[in-house]
């Protein structure tokens, strides 16, 4: 594919270095044109030919930039995205969309008014285990789903001095968007949310434990994230009247990128261990089968962005679908603060 779109990456921390830059560079039709960073040496160690701008304003003045990718700390997402949209650039925002629902709503309205592409990087729609689970549900392999349990747990008993663990941040805005977005893709909006967001580790100031229930008429969804789980291998446990699905460990793509692999390498996204499918038998016994996981496919996100920019395909994660995730995130925060079940709006664009 001929080069079509030049991309500016704003921020070169974990999200920019491990996720966005390698995926952008591996996508036909996209080019990593520049990076906004206060540490040019760090960028040039990986991308020696990429221009580095010292601040957002200098980058937005570059007429060659077609797409701006926001990969900065969460508190900066809304203001930086608003500036990029106002400058006429297409925008991708790393999760979370914004820290406040009102900010996400404002960005959606601004992008719609200007006819600008706005997308949120909900990359874990393309985790290999989630792709496998989604396919099994679509095939009816589990029958009617009655309980969906999704975990993103870690064991980090010591509170670290970093922005994600400071007041106003915490585990819910960090990992909650992954858990919520996946659940909404499968089941749509719940009618209500019940949540417990709390601090369990000594010295913590931001919630490091999240236990959230999404309520549906005939389904319960449990979303769990914790920094205090020595036994933290469970990823999915999904139960239906026809069987159950269980997977352990995280998708391999993040680890592969950290280790220096790229999406162009042959083993990218290939999991080493299968999941398990527990098939219910007519006599109410259960037969256990290994289920090879589908190949993880983060590159599909940016391929979709490129196609959407060209008018050749839909936005892979629309701003409206990301807004639904924000609505559930907000409902969970209010539920935890007020100690009650919070109703959710019925409309959805998932």
> Domain containing 164 — which CATH number?
3.30.360.10
Task: Give CA torsion, residues 340, 345, 349, 350, to 10 deg.
Answer: 30
Which of 90, 121, 152 is at the close of a domain?
A: 121
Domain assignment present for residue 209? The answer is yes
Is the domain of 183 the same as that of 43? Answer: no
Is the domain of 166 the same as that of 206? Answer: yes
Which of 66, 96, 121 is at the close of a domain?
A: 121
pLDDT of residue 346: 60
Confidence grade of residue 179 (pLDDT, cut at 50, 70, 90): very high
Tally of domains within the chain: 2
Per-residue pLDDT tens over the stretch 127-143: 999 999 999 999 999 99
Residue that is written with structure tokens 């959230």 in the block: 212
pLDDT of residue 118: 98
Per-residue pLDDT tens over the stretch 20-73: 999 999 999 999 999 999 999 999 999 999 999 999 999 999 999 999 999 999
Is the domain of 40 the same as that of 105? Answer: yes
- 331 has pLDDT over 70: yes
- How large a percentage of the chain has pLDDT more than 90? 85
Count Cβ neighbours within 10 Å for each residue of 146-158 and write b for 16 or more, e otherwise: eebbbbbbbeeee
Per-residue pLDDT tens over the stretch 223-263: 999 988 998 899 999 999 999 999 999 999 999 999 999 99
pLDDT of residue 158: 82
pLDDT of residue 350: 40
Range of the structural domain that residue 274 is part of: 124-296+327-343
Confidence grade of residue 182 (pLDDT, cut at 50, 70, 90): very high
- Collapsing DSSP states into helix, strand and coil, what is residue 7? strand
Is the domain of 131 the same as that of 261? Answer: yes
- 107 has pLDDT over 80: yes
pTM for the predicted model, two decimal places: 0.94
């Amino acid at each position: 594919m001929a080069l079509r779109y030049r991309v500016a990456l704003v921020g070169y921390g974990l999200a920019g270095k491990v996720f966005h830059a390698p995926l952008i560079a591996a996508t036909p039709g996209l080019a990593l044109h520049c990076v906004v960073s206060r540490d040019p040496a760090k960028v040039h160690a990986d991308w020696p030919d990429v221009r580095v701008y010292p601040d957002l304003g200098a980058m937005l003045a570059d007429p060659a930039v077609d797409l701006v990718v926001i990969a900065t700390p969460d508190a900066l997402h809304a203001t930086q995205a608003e500036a990029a949209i106002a400058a006429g650039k297409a925008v991708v925002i790393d999760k979370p969309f914004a820290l406040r629902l009102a900010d996400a709503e404002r960005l959606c309205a601004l992008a719609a008014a200007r006819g600008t592409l706005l997308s949120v990087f909900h990359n874990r729609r393309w985790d290999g285990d989630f792709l496998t689970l989604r396919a099994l549900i679509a095939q009816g392999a589990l029958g009617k789903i009655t309980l969906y349990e999704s975990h993103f747990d870690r064991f980090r008993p010591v509170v670290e001095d970093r922005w994600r663990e400071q007041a106003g941040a915490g585990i819910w805005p960090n990992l909650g968007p992954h858990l919520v977005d996946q659940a909404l893709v499968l089941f749509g909006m719940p009618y209500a949310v019940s949540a417990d967001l709390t601090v369990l580790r000594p010295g913590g100031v931001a919630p490091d434990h999240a236990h959230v229930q999404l309520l549906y008429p005939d389904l319960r969804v449990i979303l769990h994230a914790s920094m205090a789980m020595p036994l933290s291998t469970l990823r999915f446990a999904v139960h239906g009247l026809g069987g159950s699905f269980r997977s352990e460990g995280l998708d391999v793509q993040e680890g592969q990128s950290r280790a220096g692999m790229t999406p162009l390498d042959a083993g990218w996204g290939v999991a080493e261990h299968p999941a398990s499918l527990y098939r219910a038998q007519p006599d109410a016994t259960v037969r256990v089968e290994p289920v090879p996981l589908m190949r993880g496919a983060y590159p599909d996100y940016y391929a979709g962005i490129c196609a959407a920019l060209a008018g050749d395909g839909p936005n892979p994660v629309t701003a409206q679908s990301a807004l639904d995730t924000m609505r559930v995130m907000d409902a969970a925060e209010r539920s935890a603060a007020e100690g009650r079940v919070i109703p959710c709006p019925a409309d959805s664009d998932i």
